[in-house]
């Protein structure tokens, strides 16, 4: 039988890169995709198939999935990992940037699911692993668009889990806590560029500092930790609906579950003041 095939988006750095390597080690035929092809040379050197894909470009996604089917004839696992943090006061974020945030974090993910499910349904098996965040359950000031996308990924994945079950396709949500990747710096840069001046300048500086402190070794985990969890979700005979992963993720999710809004708001306000 041919080897199981996995596709990993956002594989040019961080969680996606480590996940591509970990799945390769697990024995999968791995396709790693992102916009920056040059940043995936290291993966290619280790036997991972790499090609460019922009998850905001329909033609690029359609051609990518067709290519994998042509070369391998099967897709067993899709890891929807590409994403970034569009931070800034909601009032300051241009609505086109908010749309772009949804294009990358939600519509790209959903479009790829549309493209792989016909093949998974035909095979009566498959696994879709969506990288959400603890930010799909908790919230921060200046992060409304990012959190809106991750809350959307949670709702979409929960509905889809029930919808695809009769077709033999599992849907799994990964909820990382703070992970040391390029994500944090990108989010901080977006925040500063958007709300550095004006009515929200002081709040923006506070949130920037909190984000930065979350990037420290003491508070965050390396991306390999998430990659291991994704492999577990890929190979488990009965995967869980969601896997919180990384320092503090489990505790925070439990607190969000147990605390009423007023108490959780107070907690968030305390951290971000």
Residue number, 133 or 157, with CB nearest to ligand NDP = 133
Quick one: which of 8, 30, 65, 104 contacts ligand NDP (CB under 6 A)?
104
Q: Which two tokens stand for residue 83?
A: 């994403």
Among 31, 87, 146, 200, which one carries the catalytic annotation? 146
Q: Among residue numbers 57 through 86, which ones bind ligand NDP (CB under 6 A)?
A: 81-84
Q: Least CB distance from residue 38 to ligand NDP, whole Å? A: 9
Interatomic CA distance for residues 56 and 1, integer angstroms: 34
Residue number, 83 or 126, with CB nearest to ligand NDP = 83
Residue 98 burial class via C-beta count within 10 angstroms: exposed 0-12, middle 13-18, buried 19 and up = middle
Q: In 3D, which of 185, 183, 178 has the Cα closest to residue 222?
A: 178
Q: Among residue numbers 156 through 185, which ones bind ligand NDP (CB under 6 A)?
A: 176, 178-179, 181-184
Q: Among residue numbers 26 through 45, which ones bind ligand NDP (CB under 6 A)?
A: 34-36, 39
Window 115-154: contact mask with ligand NDP (x via CB under 6 A): ----------------x-x---------------------
Q: In 3D, which of 151, 2, 16, 153 has the Cα closest to residue 75?
A: 2
Query: Please, what is the Cα angle at 154 between 150 and 156, to 5 degrees?
Result: 110
Interatomic CA distance for residues 191 and 207, integer angstroms: 9
As a 3-state breakdown, the chain gives helix, strand, coil percent values, each rounded to 5, of: 55, 15, 30
Q: Is 28 assigned a catalytic role?
A: no
**Does 50 sit near ligand NDP (CB under 6 A)?**
no
β-bridge pairing 5-9 and 77-80: parallel
Q: In 3D, which of 76, 92, 83 has the Cα closest to residue 234?
A: 76
Interatomic CA distance for residues 41 and 253, integer angstroms: 36
Residue number, 12 or 117, with CB nearest to ligand NDP = 12
Quick one: which of 4, 6, 8, 10 contacts ligand NDP (CB under 6 A)?
10
Residue number, 28 or 146, with CB nearest to ligand NDP = 146
Quick one: which of 14, 126, 141, 244 contacts ligand NDP (CB under 6 A)?
14
Q: Least CB distance from residue 26 to ligand NDP, whole Å? A: 19
Q: Least CB distance from residue 117 to ligand NDP, whole Å? A: 20
Specify whether the CB–CB gap between 15 and 227 falls below 8 A: yes
Residue number, 65 or 131, with CB nearest to ligand NDP = 131
Q: In 3D, which of 4, 16, 9 has the Cα closest to residue 176?
A: 16
Quick one: which of 5, 21, 48, 55 contacts ligand NDP (CB under 6 A)?
55
Q: Least CB distance from residue 22 to ligand NDP, whole Å? A: 13
Interatomic CA distance for residues 88 and 71, integer angstroms: 42
Q: What are the residues binding ligand NDP (CB under 6 A)?
A: 9-16, 34-36, 39, 53-56, 81-84, 104, 131, 133, 176, 178-179, 181-184, 186, 223
Residues labelled catalytic: 146
């Amino acid at each position: 039988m041919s080897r199981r095939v996995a596709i990993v988006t956002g594989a040019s750095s961080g969680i996606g890169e480590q996940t591509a390597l970990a799945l390769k080690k697990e024995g999968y035929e791995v396709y790693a995709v992102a916009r920056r092809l040059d940043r995936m040379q290291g993966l290619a050197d280790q036997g991972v198939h790499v090609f460019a894909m922009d998850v905001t470009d329909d033609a690029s996604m359609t051609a990518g999935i067709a290519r994998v089917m042509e070369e391998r004839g099967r897709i067993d696992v899709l890891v929807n990992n590409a994403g970034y943090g569009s931070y800034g006061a909601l009032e300051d974020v241009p609505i086109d940037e908010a749309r772009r945030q949804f294009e990358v974090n939600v519509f790209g993910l959903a479009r790829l699911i549309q493209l792989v499910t016909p093949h998974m349904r035909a095979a009566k098996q498959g696994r879709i692993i969506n990288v959400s965040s603890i930010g799909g359950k908790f919230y921060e000031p200046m992060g409304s668009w990012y959190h809106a996308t991750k809350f959307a990924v949670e709702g979409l994945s929960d509905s889809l889990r029930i919808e695809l079950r009769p077709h033999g396709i599992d849907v799994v949500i990964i909820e990382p806590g703070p992970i040391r990747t390029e994500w944090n710096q990108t989010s901080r840069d977006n925040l500063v560029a958007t709300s550095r001046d004006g009515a929200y300048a002081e709040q923006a500086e506070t949130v920037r500092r909190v984000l930065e402190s979350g990037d420290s070794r003491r508070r965050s985990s390396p991306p390999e930790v998430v990659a291991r969890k994704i492999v577990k979700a890929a190979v488990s005979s009965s995967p869980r609906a969601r896997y919180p992963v990384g320092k503090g993720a489990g505790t925070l999710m439990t607190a969000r579950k147990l605390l009423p809004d007023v108490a959780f708001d107070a907690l968030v306000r305390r951290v971000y003041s």
